Chains A and B, each alone.
Chain A
Amino acid sequence: MENIIEIRSLKKCFEKHKILDDISADFEKGKIYGIIGRNGSGKTVLFKCICGLMHYDAGEILINGKKIGVDIDIAENVGAIIENPGFLPYYSGAANLKMLMGICGKKDKDRIYKCMKMTGLDPDDKKHVCKYSLGMRQRLGISQAIMDDPDILLLDEPMNGLDNKGVDEMRALFLQLKQQSKTILLSSHNREDIDLLCDVVYEMENGKMKRNR
């Protein structure tokens, strides 16, 4: 299988505190990878480095053969939800997604509607995002990640705030995306999510990342 993400000897420190210490891993197309680890073990930092939002100190990250920080500054073809999803508070969910899509130079209302429906939101709901519940905001974050139809998805604790039904729906959605040959990196503190969804599991501890399954 072809590797879509390659990480080689990646290092990242914050004031001598080694968060990522010589991490290497390959991620193949069409698989779901679980990243687990205790709070503060560096999962979010790893995701930010892969996107290009955070610079790393040494090593390299290749996305589709392009080196982050050298060939490209921000990863292309990657959808992500990292930490709290942030939106313009006084606009509806659909309006927020429309603006974000516009930044890519695209305009596709049908796609936005479809993605919102896929995550269980009503695209015609005129309610402002500031009035959304935590789970609705999270669903909108997931719609945002998938709407540009990226090949890679970086999902940092995507089930945050979702109810049981929501969790089931998202699990089904992620498996469906895997069928479409998307590569998903998923961090989660929920063992069931990891067991059910992931083909490969990595555990982060003391700056190292070792394969668990």
Chain B
Amino acid sequence: MANLNRTLLIATYNIKKWFANPRIYVIVILLFFYVHFMESPIKIFSQNVHINLPPFLMPFLISSVYSGKILLLLLILLFCDAPFTEEEYPYIIMRSGRKRWYLGQIFYIYIAAAFYTLLIGIITALVLIPNLELMSDWGKVINTFAQTGIASQHGIVIPFDYAIIQSFSPIEAMGLQFILCELIFAMFGKLMFLLNTLTSRAVGAVVATGVVFFQIFAENISPKLTYFSPASWISLSFLSIDGTGRYPSLRYALIVLIILNIVLAIASLRVVLKSDIKVLKNI
């Protein structure tokens, strides 16, 4: 327990640096404007028909062709300072040793990924105010959008996939979306941590951006290619929920993501133990 506390303290050290970092504020602001831009036609629709919206738009928002890419690019901005070794890092690692320091960084990646996911969830709901209403089902508006073509007539670009409504309750869909986001975001964080530790700080961001662009390529060329594009699985629309479609099944995606997370964690540990980690500038 005491050891867990020490590791968490190392992880929170990185989070404490957020408040002084303009990059973090830029991420929050851009995210807010993007979500606002995407959801405002829905809000206008809801005002016109006098029916409020539930706080469960996140799985649909992320299904949009743009969202997965935008959210991941902002995530790359969040983790671009990996391996998080600014001037105070020697003082920390001398007190923790390499292994615990590494564990602290991995904890940080998971915590930051969770915060980011939560932020997306909160903003998708917040921008609906004052038309937001707490309800336990999908509500009339989403049901209508999913079953008719009315959404596109009102300039709404978010796809309301009927399969999602049919297969999941709102809580299930949100939970699943959180798990997918957490696994994919943490995978990106660890990939960048590994590459930046091995080489220099620009490499992780460039490769991660490459993975995002491969997502666009894969989605446009063939459903088969999305089997090799983990970034695509952030969208429930690019997964075949019942396991019969052309896209990878949910089970496949979850298993591969867990394996990738484990492999990247082991590889990063080896690199941390073997390499000289430089003190880098705060960005």
A: which residues have CB within 8 A of B? 48, 51-55, 72-75, 78, 80, 82-91, 99-100, 102-105, 130, 144, 148
Q: Which residue of chain A is the closest to B277 with respect to CB atoms?
A: A53
Cβ–Cβ contact B98 & A84, under 8 A: no
Q: How far in angstroms is the closest Cβ of chain B from A190?
A: 23
> Chain B interface residue count: which class?
20 to 34
Q: Can you pick out 23 interface pairs between chain A and chain B where the beta carbons lie within 8 Å of each other?
A: A53-B93, A53-B94, A53-B277, A55-B274, A55-B275, A75-B94, A78-B94, A80-B90, A84-B87, A86-B89, A86-B279, A88-B13, A88-B16, A88-B88, A89-B20, A90-B20, A99-B16, A100-B92, A102-B9, A103-B9, A103-B10, A105-B5, A148-B95
Closest 8 CB pairs of A and B: A86-B87, A86-B88, A103-B95, A73-B98, A54-B276, A104-B95, A74-B97, A102-B9
Smallest Cβ-Cβ distance to A86: which chain B residue: B87
A139 to B97, CA, bound (A): 24
Contacts A78-B94, A80-B90; is A91 near B2 (CB within 8 Å)? no
**Interface bits B1-13 vs A (CB < 8 Å: 1, else 0):** 0110110011001
Q: Which of B6, B91, B277, B279 contacts A105 (CB 8 A)?
A: B6
A100, A104, A148 pick with most chain B CB within 10 angstroms: A100
| Interface bits B32-49 vs A (CB < 8 Å: 1, else 0) | 000000000000000000
User: Helix, strand, loop or mixed for chain A's interface?
Assistant: loop
Does B94 contact A90, Cβ atoms closer than 8 Å?
no
Distance in Å from the Cβ of A43 to the closest Cβ of chain B? 15
Interface string of B72-104 (1 = CB under 8 A from A): 000000000000001111111111111100000
Q: Indicate if the CB atoms of A100 and B93 lie closer than 8 Å.
A: no
Q: List B contacts of A100 (CB < 8 A).
A: 91-92, 95
